[in-house]
Amino acid sequence: MAIPDYQSLMLPLLRFLGDKKERSMRETIDALAKEYGLSAEELRELLPSGKQPIFDNRVGWARTYMKKAGLLESTRRGFFRITDRGSKILSQNPKEINVKYLKQFPEFIEFQIIKHERIGENRADEDEKEKTPEELLETAYQQINDQLVSDLLKQIKAIPPPLFEKIVVELLVAMGYGGTLRDAGQAIGKSGDEGIDGVIKEDRLGLDAIYLQAKKWENTVGRPEIQKFAGALQGQRARKGIFITTSNFSKEAYDYTSRIDTKIVLIDGEQLARYMIDHNIGVSPISKYEIKKIDSDFFSEEVLS
């Protein structure tokens, strides 16, 4: 089944805490996951940042919203329980608890006013129904990044081959390969030798070599091109190779690399652009945002002892 949105989790969360026992976040997440019958794969699904499971995040925000409404309260670090108000609401047997329902409580209205003053009133309610604030932020970031990838790839395809080779050199060095820019620059960009465009160091010490082919192509790279490259590697007794293209690879090309002993990494145009963004090659930061949380240890009495 699909992972429930954070508003759908509010009532089940309140019911789970209905026995008035103190519960930990981990215990609560596990219980709700079992109630919804979520698979291990669904529980491993991460936010776009890859730093937190989606389900954990949604349970956390369901708890936060109900705490703001006074239905739950924190007891100690990482633990919480239902309040008298929460128990009263539960005794009324509501069919659903969501943001609209929580707006009957003044504390929640105040929280909503502050929140909307910061993010603006133009946010659609339907967005909030499905996604937590972190999901909305990360989705927006992903959309901006996807557009940047598209624009960057168009720029790469429009540049002359020598500049493309220079970009490949800078990227590989930024990723920790090729030694210095001078070393890598001398190793790449020569005329192809039996399907090989260059040889770079695997690390700064040059403990191993990686053979490279970098092509500014528009057409899909198929299995025959990869077989030719693999054959060239065998001719050099090479064990590792990287094939970079501004286009993409066919399914047969990927299947072939997965079944041969030689390690060949395929980098298509989109992945190339993403690597460039990750290592600030051809792009520059314009804004940076940090998401912070309370450091509970800072407020612990033990710090004073």
Domain assignment present for 2: no
Contact 16, 23 (CB under 8 A): yes
170 and 64 in one domain? no
Residue-level pLDDT at 232: 86
Local confidence band at 2 (pLDDT 50, 70, 90 cut-offs): confident
Looking at the domain assignment, is residue 298 inside a domain?
no
Inside any domain, residue 263: yes
Q: How confident is the model at residue 177 (pLDDT cuts 50, 70, 90)?
A: confident
| pLDDT score recorded for residue 188 | 56
Instruction: From 131, 147, 177, give the residue that closes a domain.
Output: 131
- The count of structural domains within the chain is 2
pLDDT at 45: 92
CA distance 300 to 259: 55
Residue 126: pLDDT band with limits 50, 70, 90: very low
Say yes or no: 123 and 229 in one domain: no
Split at pLDDT 50, 70, 90, the class of 178 is low
The DSSP-derived string for 139-161 is HHHHHHHHHHHHHHHHHHHHS-H
Note the pLDDT tens digit of each residue in 150-172.
Answer: 889 989 999 888 888 888 888 88
Under the banding of pLDDT at 50, 70 and 90, the label for residue 173 is: confident
Domain CATH number, residue 252: 3.40.1350.10
pLDDT above 90 coverage of the chain, percent = 47
Q: Which residues pair with 263 in a beta bridge?
A: 240
CATH number at residue 109: 1.10.10
Q: What is the pLDDT of residue 305?
A: 47
H helix runs in the chain, sequence order? 10-16, 25-36, 40-43, 54-68, 84-91, 99-102, 106-119, 125-130, 133-158, 161-174, 181-187, 223-235, 251-258, 269-278
286 within domain boundaries: no
Q: What is the pLDDT at residue 167? A: 86
Whether 126 and 224 share a structural domain: no
Write out the residue range of the structural domain in which residue 14 sits: 10-131
- Give the residue, 137 or 5, on which the prediction is more confident: 5
- Asked if the model's pLDDT at residue 20 lies above 70, the reply is yes
Is 164 among the domain residues?
A: yes
The CA dihedral of 276, 278, 279, 282, to the nearest 10 degrees, is 40
Same domain, 124 and 169: no
pLDDT of residue 120: 47
Average pLDDT over residues 264-282: 93
Q: Of 96, 131, 166, which residue sits at a domain end?
A: 131
For residues 107 and 19, membership in a common domain is answered with: yes
Per-residue pLDDT at 275: 94
Q: Are 110 and 170 in a shared domain?
A: no
Would you say residue 304 lies in a domain? no
Say how far apart CA 13 and CA 80 lie, in whole Å: 11
Give the pLDDT of residue 199: 76
| In a domain? residue 1 | no
Taking 50 as the threshold, does the pLDDT of residue 124 lie above it?
A: no
**Is residue 140 a part of any domain in this protein?**
no
Rounded CA separation 27/55 (Å): 13
pLDDT of residue 267: 95
Alpha carbon 213 to its chain centroid, in Å, reads: 29
Q: How many CA atoms lie within 13 A of 112 on its CB side?
A: 18
The confidence score (pLDDT) of residue 222 equals 94
Residues 117 and 177 in one domain: no
Q: Are residues 23 and 124 in the same domain?
A: yes
* pLDDT: which is higher, 139 or 188: 139
